[in-house]
Structure 1
Amino acid sequence: MRRAPADNEPGEHSSLVLTQFLARVYSIPGEKDFLKADYYPVRRRFVLALQMCLRGLPSDDLLWRYNMFVGPLMYAMNGPQRMTRRPLVFGIAKSTVRPKACIRQMTALLVSGFHAPRHDSESAASGVAR
């Protein structure tokens, strides 16, 4: 099994590459054109697949959950070193968390989020989840 590169190591799988790419995409002139041509078709297929899996979930709820899903996905795509790095508040001891455990944790979180009770504007105003 190959070792994941550290954040400051050059390499094709370095989290730095993805982070720099995203920063560049969101700051270039013509960002909307790039996203429309290259990102939106992928997003559309992904959202349609989610709709097929989550029949009955209103579009607004589905889009909220999709948007909340993208953050953890991007974080995970930055590489296992991000997901296994221990916060300094826990001390400097080496993490015993393995990438496969991170994937299981993230999968459980996201699946739970997609199957959570609805929180549309009507139920949110009453404080009751549907």
Structure 2
Amino acid sequence: MQLMADRLGGAVILHDAPSGKILIVAGTVPGVAVMDPIGARPEDYADRFQVFTQDGAVARTEDLPVVRSMISGEAITDEVWLLSGVTGPVPVFVDSYPLKDEAGHVVGVIATATDPKLWGSRAERLKHTMALRDGFVRRRA
């Protein structure tokens, strides 16, 4: 998980299902003030981690991506949430992926939290690489 977190540039969190209890955390999101997440359950997240919706309201437990993924059995991706930060709320991309047993029951969820600024710089590098590729293809034609 640490390798995944390092590559992602954020945090990877393993949740038990159906409890939602946090079992493992690898990595961090710069500026996010999360203390002692191991053992926290979804009903603790809004208070313990100060999770907010984009309009600044305190997040409802049932709206959290990890809870929705646990209930639906579907991946919840590319959502932006605000987490408590050292200097104020920090926007993070949140993805939640259900883990299922052989019978298709959700037994856990892997969630990721990523700093959007990191993705912005990756997008710029990708655009630059595509421009180089397009120039190379035109020269070969």
Higher strand share: 2
Question: When the two structures are superposed, what TM-score results if normalisation uses the length of structure 2?
Answer: 0.25
Higher helix share: 1
